[in-house]
Structure 1
Amino acid sequence: MKTLILGTTALALSAGMAFAQDTVRLGTEGAYPPYNYLDDSGEVAGFERVLGDELCERAELTCEWVTNDWDSIIPNLVSGNYDAIIAGMSITPEREEVVDFTQNYTPPSPSSFAAMSEDVDLETAVIAAQTGTIQAQHVSGMEGATLVEFPNPDEAVAAVTTGEADAIMADKDFLIPVVEDSSDMVFVGEDVPLGGGIGMAFRESDPELRAQFDAAIQSMKDDGTLNELIAEWLGEDSPKF
């Protein structure tokens, strides 16, 4: 019993002291442009790369980037494979039961549907969404519609273009360039407000590290630089603070 207690205590202390290590590891997906993606050199790029680097500078922290598949991104945070998630993750009550979020660094923004035809009936459609997202959760609650889930957003888009699905539901900021770059895909139906905006996620045992990033986010809101980044990367029409 003594050994078990000491072992548990050591684990708790090591997790709680993650903020004190030399390098803070930021976990992202690297597959959700314009929020995060891999550039031609295989480096993390996008809105959240620029934002994360600025937050680390303001918090006076040395950071490195780690990529992880979306469907296991929270479990790998909790298990210690990285110290924070910055990956287009909407703040929801369900996720707050497992991780602690900073304040949002984007306001709540709409989710949208896109399809290859304006005539798609969303009430009876087969709708693609990325696994583990608020959009997948929303579609699963749509009476009459059928949800098909994919591990990454590109596969969800491909399901629509190949006819495997009638429509896709995703963040509108993600879908805008997809629709603009396609000669056939169009927005259908009404936008749907989901989630409480996007925030960084931390282990519940790392309140001090979360507080450092929370203060940095607030400083970017206060001086207007966060709105400038949102406009640059997500578009002038994307909701701002």
Structure 2
Amino acid sequence: MKKLILSTTALALTAGLAMAETVRMGTEGAYPPYNFINDAGEVDGFERELGDELCTRAELTCEWVTNEWDSIIPNLVSGNYDTIIAGMSITAERDEVIDFTQNYTQPDPSGYLALMGADVDVKGGILAAQTGTIQAAHIAASGATLVEFATPEETIAAVRSGEADAVLADDAYLRPFAAENDDLTMLAETELLGGGVGMGVRESDGELKAKFDAAIQSMKDDGTLNALLAKWEIGPGF
């Protein structure tokens, strides 16, 4: 899914968890259905349900912390929270800075959202994406013109304003906008990017990683992860 463009200064940050009694779960809170803030002001969505269940199975006490996407890895590394559970795809570039658990989603197609009736050239047009995502990296390498925005909502607004021909993001994020708005539509083209989504942890926190790996595997084995993916309409199951 998303891919941060990391600075060399961020790469140098280090911190240790030391297996604190409370594990702080870092998320963005702005990317439904993976994670969002509900009307009660609480973190909600697929990853909230998943994270709470993983913490129960791992016998950990967890609390939720929100952080803007563009600094979510540096703030993990510097110790502001202990995991990232924020729709983050496992990539080789990120794996140089942090460790990942095994994936809890399969690679999910990214789709293009455009204005109804628009003639969009996804190879040479002007395409919007959230800053630091694998979708932004794909556009930049494709020959199309990339316009980046700090939040996913701003990418939709750019399509409506005519600043971008289409937005590229996770299909599970974009499709509800097309279903609920007569002026927007999903294009036929899709892109399969990334290696599935996993939890990010600091490289020094091998014990914590192992606990979450075992919990994810147990959810795969008993079918509860597939049920949760189906509930939130996120990609294929395992």
3-state SS in 1 of match to 2:25: strand
Residues 30 and 67 of structure 1 are in contact (CA less than 8 Å); yes or no, is this contact kept in structure 2? yes
Normalising by structure 2, we get a TM-score of: 0.92
Deviations 1:45-101 (A, max 9, x none): 000000000000000000000000000000000000000000000001111010100
| 1:202-213 correspondence to structure 2 within 5 Å | 202-213=201-212
Match status 1:190 vs 2:198: no
Residues 26 and 84 of structure 2 are in contact (CA less than 8 Å); yes or no, is this contact kept in structure 1? yes
Worse-superposed segment, 46-55 or 159-168:
159-168
Deviations 1:90-136 (A, max 9, x none): 00111101010000000111111111034212222111000110000
Number of the residue aligned with 1:6: none
Residues 17 and 79 of structure 2 are in contact (CA less than 8 Å); yes or no, is this contact kept in structure 1? no
Number of the residue aligned with 1:240: 237
Amino acid at match of 1:225: T
Q: Distance in 2 between matches of 1:118 and 1:59?
A: 49
Deviation at 1:22, TM superposition (A): 1.5
Residues 17 and 82 of structure 2 are in contact (CA less than 8 Å); yes or no, is this contact kept in structure 1? no
3-state SS in 1 of match to 2:232: helix
Amino acid at match of 1:67: T
Amino acid at match of 1:171: D
Number of the residue aligned with 2:109: 110
Tell me how many residue pairs correspond in the alignment: 225
| 1:1-241 correspondence to structure 2 within 5 Å | 15-17=16-18, 19=19, 21-116=20-115, 117-143=117-143, 145-234=144-233, 238-241=235-238
3-state SS in 1 of match to 2:187: strand
Residues 114 and 185 of structure 1 are in contact (CA less than 8 Å); yes or no, is this contact kept in structure 2? yes
- Segments of 4+ moved more than 4 angstroms: none
Worse-superposed segment, 150-159 or 115-124:
115-124
Normalising by structure 1, we get a TM-score of: 0.91
3-state SS in 2 of match to 1:25: strand
Residues 118 and 188 of structure 1 are in contact (CA less than 8 Å); yes or no, is this contact kept in structure 2? no
**Structure 2 unaligned runs (5+)?**
1-12
Report sequence identity in percent: 64
Residues 113 and 174 of structure 2 are in contact (CA less than 8 Å); yes or no, is this contact kept in structure 1? yes
- Aligned residues: CA RMSD: 1.4
Q: Distance in 2 between matches of 1:234 and 1:90?
A: 17
Q: Distance in 2 between matches of 1:196 and 1:122?
A: 22
Bigger fraction of residues in helix? 1
